[in-house]
């Protein structure tokens, strides 16, 4: 059913932090009429804004298969952005994959996790199960194994400036992060092209990460440089960091996860030097200094 000459593109989770950026990146490459945004609410402000720009908006709830069967009709290329509901991702993703298979979607692109097949990060299990479900579906597919978002760490800058220190449990682990915009651009490129650098996207798994790796101490040093005052990095034991995060209001599961993933980072789980992301982009990934400047306003 795919029509490569005039494909129709579908983005799940189109109002999310990554989804919004993918939609913007696609609108720079394809007409609005070729784009369909999947949302859990078609009456939201986000939905109205997209419709005003000529984007087709359809109800698409990962947990409601009946919405997906309708939403994916006539779609040529689908970006499945991983669900934010940890613990429910596999079932939700399978709903989307089955609906895509039934609808005859021409190609599926999925946002997975960096080195998901060998990663120590607890999130990897659900991503690997989703990758297996995609393979079993028989759909032509591309797996984008996204590394950490730089924003996962720059979001802490305001608190670091207020408290006088950047806190974490990543030790001297090097983090090869990239911005959400970098990953969004890569997704748009893969969706809108058949080949890259002589290869075919379908059937490929890309390990995507930033060009330059940094430690949290180096992040703190960059924050200090731009702030004009010393903001040191304080490395905390995992349990202490998790307790601190809970103390500032984060849900227990998320606080425990963030502290655990920092420890994984200390062991190299967020490091990659393959530069597949910048190769796809045809440009360097966003430098840390630029991401810090954006976060500091």
pLDDT computed for residue 201 by the predictor? 85
Q: Which two tokens stand for residue 127?
A: 């991503």
Give the side-chain half-sphere CA count within 13 A for 256: 6
pLDDT computed for residue 92 by the predictor? 97
> Taking a C-beta distance cutoff of 8 angstroms, is the pair 70, 58 a contact?
yes
CATH-assigned architecture of domain 9-146:
3-Layer(aba) Sandwich (3.40)
pLDDT computed for residue 235 by the predictor? 98
Among 170, 90, 83, CA closest to 125: 90
The DSSP code sequence of 27-96 is HTTS-GGGEEEEES-TTSHHHHHHHHTT-EEEE--TT-HHHHHHHTTT-SEEEEPPPS-TTTHHHHHHHH
Q: Which two tokens stand for residue 196?
A: 């890259």
pLDDT computed for residue 292 by the predictor? 98
Q: Which two tokens stand for residue 269?
A: 């789980």
pLDDT, tens digit only, all 297 positions of the chain: 444 456 999 999 999 999 999 999 999 999 999 999 999 999 999 999 999 999 999 999 999 999 999 999 999 999 999 999 999 999 999 999 999 999 999 999 999 999 999 999 999 999 999 999 999 999 999 999 999 999 999 999 999 999 999 999 999 999 999 999 999 999 999 999 877 655 678 789 999 999 999 999 999 999 999 999 999 999 999 999 999 999 999 999 999 999 999 999 999 999 999 999 999 999 999 999 999 999 998
According to DSSP, the residues that pair with 167 across neighbouring strands are: 234
The pTM assigned to this predicted structure is: 0.95
User: Which sequence spans correspond to the domains of the chain?
Assistant: 9-146, 149-178+209-272+286-297
Q: How far apart are CA 126 and CA 220, in angstroms?
A: 32
Pick the CATH number of 149-178+209-272+286-297 from 3.90.25.10, 3.40.50.10090, 3.40.1180.10, 3.40.50.620: 3.90.25.10
Give the side-chain half-sphere CA count within 13 A for 293: 5
pLDDT computed for residue 198 by the predictor? 58
Angle between helices 89-103 and 124-137 (to 10 degrees): 20
Among 132, 60, 131, CA closest to 96: 60
């Amino acid at each position: 059913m795919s029509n490569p000459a005039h494909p129709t593109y579908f983005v799940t989770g189109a109002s999310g932090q990554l989804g919004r950026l993918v939609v913007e990146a696609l609108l720079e490459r394809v007409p609005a009429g070729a784009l369909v945004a999947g949302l859990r609410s078609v009456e939201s402000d986000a939905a109205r804004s997209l419709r005003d720009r000529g984007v087709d908006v359809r109800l698409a709830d990962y947990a409601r298969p009946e919405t997906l069967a309708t939403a994916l009709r006539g779609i040529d290329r689908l970006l499945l952005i991983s669900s934010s509901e940890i613990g429910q991702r596999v079932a939700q993703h399978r709903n989307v994959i089955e609906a895509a298979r039934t609808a005859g979607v021409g190609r599926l692109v999925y946002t997975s996790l960096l080195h998901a097949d060998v990663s120590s990060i607890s999130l990897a299990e659900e991503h690997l199960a989703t990758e297996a479900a995609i393979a079993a579906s028989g759909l032509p597919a591309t797996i984008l194994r996204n590394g950490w978002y730089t924003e996962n760490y720059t979001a802490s800058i305001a608190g670091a400036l207020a408290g006088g220190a950047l806190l974490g449990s990543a030790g001297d682990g090097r983090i090869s992060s990239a911005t959400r915009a970098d990953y969004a651009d890569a997704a748009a490129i893969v969706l809108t092209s058949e080949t890259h650098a002589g290869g075919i996207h379908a059937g490929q798994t890309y390990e995507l990460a930033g060009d330059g790796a940094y430690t949290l101490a180096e992040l703190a040093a960059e924050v200090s440089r731009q702030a004009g005052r010393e903001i040191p990095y304080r490395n905390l034991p995992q349990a202490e960091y998790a307790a601190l995060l809970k103390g500032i209001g984060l849900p227990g599961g998320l606080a425990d996860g963030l502290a655990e993933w920092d420890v994984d980072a200390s062991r190299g789980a967020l490091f990659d030097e393959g530069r597949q992301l910048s190769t796809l982009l045809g440009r360097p990934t966003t430098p840390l200094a630029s991401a810090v400047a954006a976060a500091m306003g």
